[in-house]
Each structure stands twice: as structure tokens, then as C-alpha cells.
Amino acid sequence: MERLQKVIANLGITSRRKAEDLIITGHVKVNGNIIKELGTKVDVNDIIEIDNKIINQEIKKEYYLLNKPPKVITSTNDEHNRKTVVDLINTEARIYPVGRLDYDTTGLLILTNDGELANILMHPKNKIPKTYVARIKGILTKEDIFNLKKGLVIDDRLVETNNFKVREKNYDGNFTIIEITIAEGRNHIVKKIFASLNHPVVRLKRTKIAFLTLDNLKIGEYRPLKLKEIKKLYSLK
Ligand code: URA
């Protein structure tokens, strides 16, 4: 149950303030009765009318692509009151992140209130590829590369790790930069892959989900997805 004025505002019909005015001045009916009380609670089964026109209570779907900053948690709320990715998006809609990036990981994250699309993107059978750029400790050896090409067993399950490019071997700094594309969504999977090779990840950024890239989005910036992008994501099912 939600307050009537909030439901009207969330549907994008008007602002919360104007919805309150409409209610007080007797323009709004719930289940056929004029309601002038601001605290009135309604749910999706209630029939709401404004000036005798029934409004469609179907939730307006929203889709965002965020360049997640570090030190923000991928969740809708946090028991320790840390900033969440949802706090970064200016919307009244109840959006949530699709999958997760670790607290210190940056990069591409999709947020939506469309459960069907979220399921498509997260379901393992759809094998949605995600690309990461990792800075790992130490210099990747021929043997490591052989192992990555073969695939690695992580927590008793094989991960395909053969889609990678070594971007930089930095002997002075003793690190390697590697781009790797993984088609599964287990938590901490990239860190686990490189930890198993004794090259712990020191920095991690997601640069791609399927065909979506970060483009010009700076860290902390976001943009709504375009209709054609949403359709293309649906077609990945
Ligand atoms: N793999 C990780 O280890 N961390 C992330 O945030 C994403 C993928």
C-alpha cells in the first residue's frame, strides 16, 4: 500500500505537490468515491480516477546505465547507511541494480524496475558476456595464460576464461592489466579467477555488458537506456 499522492506522482502523471492539490480539491476518486484525505493508501488493485478518467496503474518502466564509482554498494539499501547505487540515480521509481559489482569495483551497471529484463540479464542460461579490465598483482606468465585459455575451476565449477587480452605488463610497477570477458554472474568471479592464479586483483572495472559500453560516461554519471537498447537486451533471451 502506498499513499495516493505518491502513487499518482510515481506514475509520472504529475508532481507529488500537484497530486496533493488534485486530491484536496476533489478531482480524485478511488473505487468510485471522491477522496480528499491526503493520507489515503491504495494498491495496484484500486481503481484511481482523475477528473473521471481512470489512470493506468501499470508501473512506468525505467532503465539506467551507471558508471559506478568505488565505495558505493550495489544494493537498494544498506544496514550500515553507506551510499548505494540507487542513491546516485535521481528517480522516484523503485529501481534496483541488475547483478552486482563489489564495493570497490567501478564501471558499468544497469538499474531498472523491470523484473523481466533483470531476469533475462541475470539468468545463467542466457550467458550474457561482461567485460572487465583488471589490474592484477605480478606479471602474468605463459603458464597463467595457458591456464586461462584452458578454463579454471572456481568453487568446483568450470569458468570459461579464454576470452581475454593482456593490455600491459608493467615490470617496474609489478602489475599486469588484463581485459577479460566472462559469460557468467557469480559474485567476485573475476577476483576469484585471478586469486586462483596467485595474481590478486588490485583494481577492477566493468567496461561492457553485452553490446553496452561506458561510452563517455564519467565515473558516477548515468544515462537512461534507449528504447532500441532495451529491445536489443530483451532479444538476448
Ligand atoms: N567480479 C568480481 O570479482 N567483482 C566484481 O565486482 C565483478 C565481477
From the options 3.40.50.410, 3.10.290.10, 1.10.645.10, 3.30.379.10, give the CATH code of 2-54: 3.10.290.10
Q: How far is the CA of 98 from the centre of ligand 1 (A)?
A: 13
The contacts found for 7-13 with CB under 8 angstroms, 24 or more apart, are 7/42, 7/48, 7/57, 8/48, 8/50, 8/55, 9/92, 10/59, 10/60, 10/92, 10/93, 11/55, 11/56, 11/57, 11/59, 11/60, 12/60, 13/50, 13/55
Q: So what's the pLDDT on residue 22? A: 96
From the options 3.30.70.1560, 3.40.640.10, 3.30.1370.10, 3.90.800.10, give the CATH code of 129-209: 3.30.70.1560
Would the CATH topology of 2-54 be identical to that of 63-124+215-234? Answer: no
What's the chain's length in residues?
Answer: 237
Q: So what's the pLDDT on residue 85? A: 98
Q: So what's the pLDDT on residue 59? A: 73
Annotated active-site residue 102? The verdict is: yes
Q: Which residues of the chain have pLDDT under 50?
A: none
- Report which secondary-structure segment, H or E, holds 123: none
Q: In whole angstroms, give the CA distance from residue 153 to residue 176.
A: 22
Q: So what's the pLDDT on residue 79? A: 86
Q: So what's the pLDDT on residue 194? A: 98
Asked if residue 184 has its Cβ within 6 Å of ligand 1, the reply is: no
Three cell numbers at 37?
484525505
Q: So what's the pLDDT on residue 162? A: 96
Closest CA to ligand 1's atom 7? 101
Q: So what's the pLDDT on residue 214? A: 96
Q: How far is the CA of 145 from the centre of ligand 1 (A)?
A: 20
**pTM, whole model, 2 decimals?**
0.80
Q: So what's the pLDDT on residue 142? A: 97
May I ask the CATH architecture of the domain 63-124+215-234?
2-Layer Sandwich (3.30)
Phi and psi for 20 in degrees, rounded to 5? -60, -45
One-letter amino acid of 23: I
Q: How far is the CA of 162 from the centre of ligand 1 (A)?
A: 17
* Residue of 51, 78, 87, 102 marked active site: 102
